[in-house]
Every structure is written in structure tokens, then in C-alpha cells.
Amino acid sequence: MTPFINRRDAGRQLGKRLLNYAPDNVAVSVIVLALPRGGVPVGIEVARALHAPLDVFIVRKIGVPTHPELAMGAIASGGVIVKNYDLMRQMGIDERSFARVAELERVELERREISYRGGRDRLALEGRICLLVDDGIATGASMQAAAIAVRKHNPKRIVVAAPVAAEGVHQNFQHTADEVVTVYTPGDFSSVGLWYEDFSQTSDEEVRELLKASSSASNWFKPDGNAPPAFH
């Protein structure tokens, strides 16, 4: 039996692991930054659990030209690029080839910035506890790019959070994040999708709907307010 029914279920389980960042337990405000697209259904449940605002922090994988699923790096909002030099050497990827793929991903990143927010401004990160959330962490390249980019906004603390991550991945964030929180870190990780019963692709439209719903829930961020709306 897989530990997560779907991303929403995974987000609820992850939210329980992050309750020490609920309003009663921290002196500064918390913001949940979900990595689209799969991280948004997870992130909205974490945001509900913590009565925290939700925003997207967009990261695009820079894949090896002949094996696009293999990340040789990543680019994040703000133009931060992370390179996996070991993989580039192993695959014989030169800087020019890397730059060509990176430029394509930069264009797509900017398209998503405009599409997902629907004209809404980014939420301020300075002095806040930023919870970077995704549906899983394999190599960590995308999350590394996100953490490095968020650090440029002078947050109080960066917490990397995911329902499932490859064993040993925590060590990859020693210099980029203040804490890593997961529900499962299996030794036989293989891939993120294996740990979900339903790992169907999250659409752009679903991302937009979830962000719109979270931004319109005015009492969401008040610990003494009514319960936030239920999402299914």
C-alpha cells in the first residue's frame, strides 16, 4: 500500500509534520511557497493546516537534451540557475548546450509567472519563515534553485518540505536551507510517483484555481478566524 492517496492527502500528512510553524508557535509570519505544478495541491493543504498564505515559487528543470527527464540543473524565479556539474561532465554537456536549454526554460518560467498569478503580485518574503513545498524530492536540483533564489529575499528561515524524498537528500540542503521536513525518506526511493496511488499530472488550470481560491479566503490567515474553505 502506497503512503499517499494523492497530492492533497500528502499535503495533509505533511502539514501535520509542520505544525510547529502554526501561528501559536512562531513569532514571525509564515508563508507557504509551492513549486508548480505538483507542489501546489500539496502546498494548499499545508497552508490550510498552518493558517498561512500560499504563493507559487516557480522552478523549471533544465533537462539533458537527449534525456529531458534527467536534470542537469534548474532555473528559479529571479533568474537563479543551479547546475549539476557532475552530471554535465558525465553526459558530455558543454556550457553552450546548457545555455540553449536554460533559455527555453526561462521563457516557460516567465509564461507561468504571468499565467498562474493572474495579475496578483508576489507575496513579500523578507523577514518571514518560508516553507518551500513540493510533491517529492528526487535529485533536489529544482528545490536547490528555489532555496537559493528565496535566500536573496532575506527571509527569516527557509524550510524545505516534501511528503517524500530520496534517502540522504537532507544533506544536499545543508548550505541552502535551515531545515528539511519530510514524511517519508525511503531507501528504495526510485521515483516520486511510486509513493502515490494517484500521481496524475496537475494542470495549469488547477494551479490557477487553487491559487485563486487561497487568495480569496480572507480569514485563512487568522488563527482565530473561521475554518478555511475545504478543498477536495
| Number of domains observed in the structure of the chain | 1
| The predicted structure's pLDDT at residue 140 | 87
225 vs 32, 142, 181, 217, 220, CA distance in Å? 19, 35, 27, 11, 7
**Surface-to-core class of residue 171, CB atoms within 10 Å of its CB (0-12 exposed, 13-18 middle, 19+ buried):** exposed
Q: What is the CA radius of gyration of the chain?
A: 17
Residue 35 lies in a domain: yes
Q: CA 186, 192, 195, 200: dihedral to nearest 10 degrees?
A: 180
Interhelix angle 7-17/39-50, nearest 10 degrees: 40
pLDDT at 216: 67
Output b/e per residue, 72-103; b: 16+ Cβ within 10 A: bbbbbbbebbbbbeebbeeeebeeeebeebbe
CATH number at residue 170: 3.40.50.2020
Q: Which of 106, 134, 69, 112 is nearest to 205 (CA)?
A: 112
Residue 43 falls inside a structural domain: yes
pLDDT mean values, one per 10 residues, the chain (232 residues): 94 98 93 96 97 93 90 85 92 96 94 86 92 94 89 95 94 93 94 96 94 69 40 34
Give residue 48's domain range.
Answer: 7-59+121-216
Could you give the dihedral angle defined by the CA atoms of residues 196, 7, 178 and 123, in that order, rounded to the nearest 10 degrees? 160
- Least Cα distance to 14 among 35, 41, 37, 36 occurs for 41
State how far the Cα of 72 lies from the Cα of 84, in Å rounded to an integer: 5
User: What pLDDT sits at residue 69?
Assistant: 82
Does any domain span residue 210?
A: yes
pTM, 2 dp:
0.84
The strand ranges marked E within 66-117 are 67-76, 80-83
Give the contacts of 213 (CB within 8 A, at least 6 positions apart). Answer: 44, 229, 231
Structural domain contains residue 175: yes
Work out the burial of residue 157: count CB atoms within 10 Å of its CB; fewer than 13 is exposed, 13-18 middle, 19 or more buried: middle
Q: Do 162 and 133 meet the contact criterion of CB atoms below 8 Å apart?
A: yes
Cα Dmax for the chain: 56
Task: Please give the pLDDT value at position 228.
Answer: 39
Does the residue 114 lie in any domain? no
Flag whether 137 is in a domain: yes
Q: What is the pLDDT of residue 221?
A: 46
Q: 3-state class of 21 per DSSP?
A: helix
Report yes or no on 227 lying in a domain.
no
pLDDT, position 227: 38
Domain-located, residue 148? yes
